[in-house]
Amino acid sequence: MTGPFPPPGRKNPLTLTRVPLLPPKARSRKAHLLTAAAATGRFALPCCGGCGAFAFPVPEACPVCLSPDLPMTDAPATAVLLSQTVAEVPADSYFRERSPWRVGLVKMDAGPTALVHLHPGCVTGDVVRLSLLLDRAGQAVLHAAPKGNTDMTTDPQWHEMTAHPRHRRVLITDARGFGAAQIAASLKKAGAREVVLGLPEAWKPFDGRGLDGLTVLPLDMGSERSVADFVRDHGHKVEIVVNTADHPRPMAAATPQALREALEAVALGPHRLAAALAPVMVARGADGPYGAAAWVNVLSVHALAPMPAMAVYSAAHATALALSHGLRAQLAAGGVRLANLFAGPLDSPGFQPMPHPKVSAGAVAGAVLNALTRGLEEDAIGDVARDLMQRLAENPKAVERDLRG
């Protein structure tokens, strides 16, 4: 179903490319509690520890009992649509470019009343399903859609607040990387116009199994020249990047050389690509309906919780994570989002001595697609990563001791 999203024709080379504008982005520090929930796909609201009332927007104190104890709590994601309207000529330039823009007033089942972005299928008086999304400015907003099995991809406003691969061109950084074929197939099936896979060290064997119909091009993120050549030829044709750089060496001693190799593979290489490609993506953040949309990093969960037995590996991924925050800030200027997906041990030779459960290639592919279609900034891949991230939030020292073994 294409709905309001017909396949794009070739761009008119004589037209000026639209400069990416962003929706209003000023928020209070408190409001970023919602950002944290939206970034991970949760529907959570501040909930008073004293009286149990939910609040929206995020207040300094409970509007019912004035308690300052307002932890973010998963809330019922349903509401009744009280009224709706369509802004035909919005005053804000970002929304005017994308008008008409539908908004509605909802009464949440959790209690508060809120203004929301609205799916075109919503009917006043009906029950709607709420989501917290990150808009193009990276700020949390409420979106309402008809309850039930609604095709969200028909909503241009949802499309604007996610990074659906449909009609977009995707670069997967390493054709030999874990899950490359599965990620490519998944994104192609979701409607990606083209999936390009980078092939580093083309002089090494590469059988290309499972990559029929896809494009494999030389791209060695370790080489400044290779990256520059790739970006010169193809940088303006990449709307989504999936970076799968990895370098697991479970038995390697934590020598400086091992660290250098891991950093080069996991952090410096993608950083080199980002330095060349990110400015192009920022400039193309509003290049038609399918402009540059997202950069996805598949990282190890040990970027967050270093594992002593794989200290070098953890350090490389932690470095990549730190660099990703700089890249996210850079991409944000164009409304391009960056998602970090944290995987547990992969089902690959690099994690051969580690105990199960391990993350399958299909699970990685599913997580990448999920992050893009829901506009997430952060997610876990696999039970090990999910458990570690949860325990890390509760007691980082306990996790450190556990990982010491």
Partner 1 sequence: MTLLDTLVAALGAGSVRVVDLTQTLTEDFPIIALPPELGQSAPVRIERISNYDASGPGWYWNNLSFGEHTGTHFDAPIHWHTGRDLAQNTVDTMPVGQMVAPACVIDCSAHTDPDHLLTVAEVQAWEGQHGPVPQGAWVLMRSDWSRRSGAAYANLQADGAHTPGPDAEVMRYLVHTRGILGFGTETIGTDAGQGGHFTPPYPAHHYLHGAGRYGLQCLTNLHLLPPTGAVLITAPLKIHHGSGSPLRVLALVSERV
Contact set with partner 1 (CB under 8 A) = 201-206, 218, 220, 222-226, 249, 251-252, 257, 260-261
Measured between alpha carbons, how far is 223 from 88 in angstroms, rounded to an integer?
A: 49
Burial (CB < 10 A; 0-12, 13-18, 19+), residue 117, is buried
**CB of 255 vs partner 1, minimal distance in Å:** 8
Measured between alpha carbons, how far is 398 from 350 in angstroms, rounded to an integer?
A: 26
Q: CB of 278 within 8 A of CB of 289?
A: no
DSSP per position, 146-180: ESSS--GGG-HHHHHTS---TT-EEEES-TTSTTH
**CB of 202 vs partner 1, minimal distance in Å:** 6
Using the minimum distance from each CB to partner 1, give the nearer residue, 136 or 272.
272
Using the minimum distance from each CB to partner 1, give the nearer residue, 289 or 350.
350
**CB of 173 vs partner 1, minimal distance in Å:** 17
Q: What are phi and psi of 259, to 5 degrees?
A: -65, -40
**CB of 296 vs partner 1, minimal distance in Å:** 25
The Cβ-side half-sphere exposure at 94, using a 13 Å CA radius, reads 16
Measured between alpha carbons, how far is 173 from 378 in angstroms, rounded to an integer?
A: 19
Q: CB of 5 within 8 A of CB of 191?
A: no
**CB of 323 vs partner 1, minimal distance in Å:** 17
Using the minimum distance from each CB to partner 1, give the nearer residue, 5 or 206.
206
**CB of 251 vs partner 1, minimal distance in Å:** 6
Using the minimum distance from each CB to partner 1, give the nearer residue, 26 or 251.
251
Using the minimum distance from each CB to partner 1, give the nearer residue, 224 or 402.
224
Using the minimum distance from each CB to partner 1, give the nearer residue, 224 or 233.
224
